[in-house]
């Protein structure tokens, strides 16, 4: 099975959401907002699931609420140079690195919850 990393643009209004803002203290005014994910589905298919709020056949949520509410298209330029991965672990590591890179440049980013917690911990340790 092959795995992909993808980046979805979020409209700036997402910054009005308290929780999103709190999880993005590194955000610099005027920078973009993104959702970064990975999947065995191609980015276009995964984007559709987020936008249409599609659950699994068993009713499990497989979309992100921020993407559903604020989606603003795939950002192909942010992931087109990334390879297709042979394992979920490789893709998840690439997802984490892409999200971290965007955050380091002042963008607001949402990604896997465990990664978000790791970023927040690391960023709080970097404060003077």
Q: Render pLDDT for 11-35 as a digit per residue (tens, 0 to 9).
A: 999 999 999 999 999 999 999 999 9
- Whole-number pLDDT of residue 125: 75
Give the tokens for residue 65: 């609420």
Q: Phi and psi dihedrals of 52, rounded to 5?
A: -100, 5
- Whole-number pLDDT of residue 127: 52
Domain spans, the chain = 4-126
Asked if residues 6 and 80 have their Cβ atoms less than 8 Å apart, the reply is no
Q: pTM to 2 decimals?
A: 0.93
Does residue 104 surpass a pLDDT of 80? yes
Provide the 10 A C-beta neighbour count for residue 15.
Answer: 17
Work out the angle at residue 71's Cα, subtended by the Cα atoms of residues 56 and 33, and round it to the nearest 5 degrees: 120
Does residue 81 surpass a pLDDT of 90? yes
Average pLDDT, the chain: 94
Q: Render pLDDT for 40-63 as a digit per residue (tens, 0 to 9).
A: 999 999 999 999 999 888 888 889
Work out the angle at residue 89's Cα, subtended by the Cα atoms of residues 87 and 61, and round it to the nearest 5 degrees: 95
């Amino acid at each position: 099975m092959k795995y992909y990393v993808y980046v979805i643009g979020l409209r700036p209004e997402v910054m009005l959401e308290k929780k999103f803002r709190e999880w993005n203290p590194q955000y610099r005014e005027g920078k973009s907002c993104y959702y970064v994910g990975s999947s065995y589905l191609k980015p276009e298919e995964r984007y559709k699931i987020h936008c249409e709020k599609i659950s699994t056949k068993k009713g499990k949520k497989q979309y992100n609420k921020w993407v559903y509410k604020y989606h603003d298209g795939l950002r192909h330029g942010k992931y087109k140079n990334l390879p297709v991965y042979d394992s979920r672990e490789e893709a998840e590591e690439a997802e984490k690195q892409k999200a971290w890179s965007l955050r380091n440049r002042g963008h607001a980013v949402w990604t896997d919850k465990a990664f978000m917690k790791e970023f927040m911990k690391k960023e709080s340790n970097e404060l003077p």
